[in-house]
Amino acid sequence: MTSRRPLVLGNWKLNCDHVQAVHLVTELALRLRGADVGGVDVGVAPPFTDLRSVSSVLEAEQVDVALVAQHASEHDEGAFTGEVAVSMLHRLGVTYVLAGHSERRRYFHMDDETVARTAAAVRRGGCVPVVCVGETADEREEGRTEEVLERQLRAALGGLDDVDAERLVVAYEPVWAIGTGQSATPEDAEAAASFLRGVAKGPLGDGADRLRVLYGGSVDGDNAGDLVAPDDVDGLLVGGASLSAQAFTAVVTGVADCYRSRARSPRR
Ligand code: PGA
């Protein structure tokens, strides 16, 4: 049976000012408390300006939801106007930082090397990088999915000096599935996750078995359980559905239910 705890992260992207964020996370805390979601690690990634308010609510509500940042600077400090350093996020209680989300790669020209330097900065600053990888529709059509995933993951891992699987998360997010309503099938998600774990075996060795690999792209309460049913998919990175406390709780519940039935299954 797998010892990897499932992880579900909600990426709010460029949505919710800090007042709206307080409402959303207060409702989320209430709903998660009333749901049977033990055993699932949960986190939310609001915009930077909301982090402090969201963290206060989580503390007051005493609900176990990790604080996640959507991005961070590759630099630790200095003359980099507009940037936010990982140490600043860590001080606010941030646990995970996304590195190389496809929207950062696409709209803000983040290349593999920048993603690698960012992931390294996240580790240096005391947080856990969630390295996002995924192919575009064209790359998929051209049969280049594995080539792209391997290149992206190898680059990111190459930037880390000590590769400790417990201080790293990988998210497989096919670009064609993000925000399109067309999620990958559980079979495709499993094929990619197991391929990525194989790539991670290079630097991580047996540690790759402890690495959590998430799937992201058009996840909702209806498909969450099916998407984490395969062996190598250890959780979900959720965009749109994380903007509703009800929908996000349904995703977390779907994952919790699936893991409960996995635990009962003689197969695992
Ligand atoms: P989506 O976004 O769930 O809205 O498709 C996923 C993501 O970008 O992380």
Of 168, 162, 175, 224, whose CA–CA distance to 196 is shortest?
168
Catalytic residue chosen out of the listed positions 71, 74, 90, 101: 101
How far is it, in rounded angstroms, from Cα 143 to Cα 39? 37
pLDDT of residue 263: 74
Asked if 71 is an active-site residue, the reply is: no
In three-state secondary structure terms, 268 is: coil
pLDDT of residue 50: 98
pLDDT of residue 264: 67
Asked if 59 is an active-site residue, the reply is: no
**Residue 193 carries which DSSP code?**
H
In three-state secondary structure terms, 98 is: strand
The angle at the Cα of 136, spanning 13 to 69, to the nearest 5 degrees, equals 25
44 forms beta bridges with 10, 67
Cα of 78 from ligand 1 centre, angstroms: 32
pLDDT of residue 262: 80
pLDDT of residue 203: 87
Contact (CB, 8 A) for 26 and 54: no
pLDDT of residue 1: 44
pLDDT along the chain (268 residues), means of 10: 86 98 98 95 98 98 97 98 98 98 97 97 96 98 98 92 85 98 98 97 91 98 98 98 98 97 65
Query: Does pTM surpass 0.85?
Result: yes
Cα of 173 from ligand 1 centre, angstroms: 8
Task: List alpha helices for 159-223, DSSP H.
Answer: 186-204
CA 162 to chain centre: 21
* Closest approach atom of ligand 1 to CA 240: 4
Strands 128-133 and 169-172: parallel
Protein residues whose CB sits closer than 6 Å to any atom of ligand 1 = 11, 173, 178-179, 216-219, 237-241
Cα of 65 from ligand 1 centre, angstroms: 19
pLDDT of residue 166: 87
Contact (CB, 8 A) for 172 and 196: yes
Cα of 146 from ligand 1 centre, angstroms: 21
Contact (CB, 8 A) for 138 and 168: no
Q: Name the closest-CA residue to atom 1, ligand 1.
A: 239
